[in-house]
Structure 1
Amino acid sequence: MTQRATPGAELLEHTGPGHPTGPRRPVASPSATTRRVLGLDEVAERSLTRTTVDGALQRVGGPVGLISAAAPTTAFVITEAAAGLGPALIALLVTAVAACVVRLARREPAGAAAAGLVVAAVCAGVASVTGQARDFFLPAMVVPVLFVLAYTGSLLARRPLMGLIVNPLSGGPRTWRTHRGLRRLYTASTLVGLGLAGLTLLARVLLYLADQPAALVVVQVVSTTSFALHFAATVVLARRSADAPANAGAAH
């Protein structure tokens, strides 16, 4: 009777004189050992939360990118409170140029780095014309307004904006509107985006009317991060939904 080969027998190798020949056993990592002792399932991939956070940080350029984006506005607000509008405008422009240099040194797209300079210059121009520091934040209010209009229009047209933006980047099928899972995901994601844009716009208007520039800086950083998280989560979920056969099928 022929003896059946044991799994892994093909991995047998000699390790040298005096050493027995046998299968090489993989060394378990401490985390794998802990999970086995506790009776937990093996982790096949990173958690959704970790993947989403990593994707969001990558989208905003990581911690350095987030700091670089917030530095000009922060410098403007702090300097204005301490020395007035004139020095604040100088601090803003100097910090904006430094942030642009940092982004270029990190090999970020030149267009994005230049856009930061243009935005800083526009905001500085508005504040210098009106003579009020809070008017520095007026141009930024246009962004959530545009998002609210775009999200609302896409939902009314039954072409969820997040589907138009995310699906090509996530590698989803061109016929995603007939894919139940993807259609529902992009619709829900667009509704979430509409809510985020609406809340951001409301917060900016109220804080502008209350003349709270420091709080407006916080709103700017929080809104940027939240939109990045929202985008990254949608990409991750879209990839999983597109790969799930159970969710595929024509919409009825």
Structure 2
Amino acid sequence: MVDSPTVDTRRPEHTGPGEGATGASARARRVLGLPDPVERSEWRTAAHRALERLGGPVGLAVAAAPTIAFVAADAAAGLGAAFAALGATAVLGCAVRLARRESPGAAIAGLLVAVVCAAVAALTGEARAFFLPTTLLPAAFIAAYVVSLIARRPLMGIVVNPLAGGPRAWREHRDLRRVYTLSTLVISAMAGANLLVRVAFYLEGQLAALAALQVGVPVLFAVHFALTVLIARRVAGRSAAAPHPGPLAPTHP
């Protein structure tokens, strides 16, 4: 546990511009009876970074719009209207991403996903087939996670370690290897649960539930990713701060 820093309660003789502004804000809060601002915790920061990784509120809305438009239009006017709504929102979403100067590859990838899902639905003639590619996709991730664990190279370590600032030889670092192994096991279980639930809703034709999963599940995975980065960064920092024993002095008979 880290001790709180000692606070000097003496009145300063001079205040700079920043200190004056802080003092004025504190006095205003006292006059209005407002609580002092609370510093954002590391966990909230991790959640905030996870949201930013998904593009923030605007990015989430852009990603969710085609799916929601497809399901709503299908329920209201049938499959033809659903394709029209999907096409309009997918193209608009691509334009918004480009206007926000996001990666052109990500913008085009979102458009291609919509095209593939629409093509599957058109070939089968069923609206639920729109969700078939994303329903089966978790199976590929599960296979990748399992293979990485069997090879003793947990996939979360390969992806997260560069972002966490961990050492290159993280596989030789017992604590970091445990973090990445546990994180890979957790995300494998999440992917497995996601697959089972998606398959169940797909077989029952629950389009609204499938749409909710398609919109909400990426947020959960992004939060897990951000928490893994945070924990790995802490573990790597503790390892770097730990004293290392010096070279052994030669012994003489």
Q: TM-score, normalised by structure 2?
A: 0.81
Tell me, in whole angstroms, the C-alpha distance in 1 between the residues paired with 2:65 and 2:15.
54
Query: CA RMSD for the aligned pairs?
Result: 2.7
For 2:185, the aligned partner's letter is L
> Where does the alignment leave 5 or more consecutive residues of structure 2 unmatched?
1-7, 31-37, 244-253
Aligned to 2:221: 227
Q: What percent identity do the matched residue pairs reach?
A: 58
Q: CA offset at residue 23 of structure 1?
A: 4.7
1:192 to 148, 163, 186: 186
Aligned to 1:175: 169
1:45-104 alpha-carbon deviations (Å, 9 max, x no partner): 741221111111111000110110010010000000010001101110110000111111
Q: Is the contact between residue 241 and residue 247 of structure 1 (CA under 8 Å) also seen in structure 2?
A: no
For 1:163, the aligned partner's letter is G
Tell me, in whole angstroms, the C-alpha distance in 2 between the residues paired with 1:109 and 1:170.
22
Tell me, in whole angstroms, the C-alpha distance in 1 between the residues paired with 2:189 and 2:176.
20
1:179-232 alpha-carbon deviations (Å, 9 max, x no partner): 222111101110111011001101110000010011001111121101111111
Tell me, in whole angstroms, the C-alpha distance in 1 between the residues paired with 2:128 and 2:242.
50
Tell me, in whole angstroms, the C-alpha distance in 1 between the residues paired with 2:241 and 2:228.
16
SS at match of 1:74: helix
Aligned to 2:151: 157
Matches within 5 A, 1:7-46: 22-24=13-15, 26=19, 27=22, 30=26, 46=40
Q: Is the contact between residue 51 and residue 236 of structure 1 (CA under 8 Å) also seen in structure 2?
A: no
Matched, 1:90 2:110: no
1:116/1:158 Cα in 2 relative to 1: closer, same or farther (>3 Å)? same
SS at match of 1:244: helix
SS at match of 2:152: coil
Q: Is the contact between residue 179 and residue 248 of structure 1 (CA under 8 Å) also seen in structure 2?
A: no
Aligned to 1:211: 205
Matched, 1:101 2:95: yes
Aligned to 1:129: 123
Matches within 5 A, 1:76-87: 76-87=70-81
Aligned to 2:250: none
Matched, 1:243 2:237: yes
Aligned to 1:147: 141
Q: TM-score, normalised by structure 1?
A: 0.81
Tell me, in whole angstroms, the C-alpha distance in 2 between the residues paired with 1:184 and 1:80.
47
Aligned to 2:246: none
Tell me, in whole angstroms, the C-alpha distance in 1 between the residues paired with 2:90 and 2:197.
25
Q: CA offset at residue 248 of structure 1?
A: 6.8
Q: Is the contact between residue 181 and residue 247 of structure 1 (CA under 8 Å) also seen in structure 2?
A: no
> Where does the alignment leave 5 or more consecutive residues of structure 1 unmatched?
1-7, 13-21, 35-42
2:65 to 68, 71, 75: 71
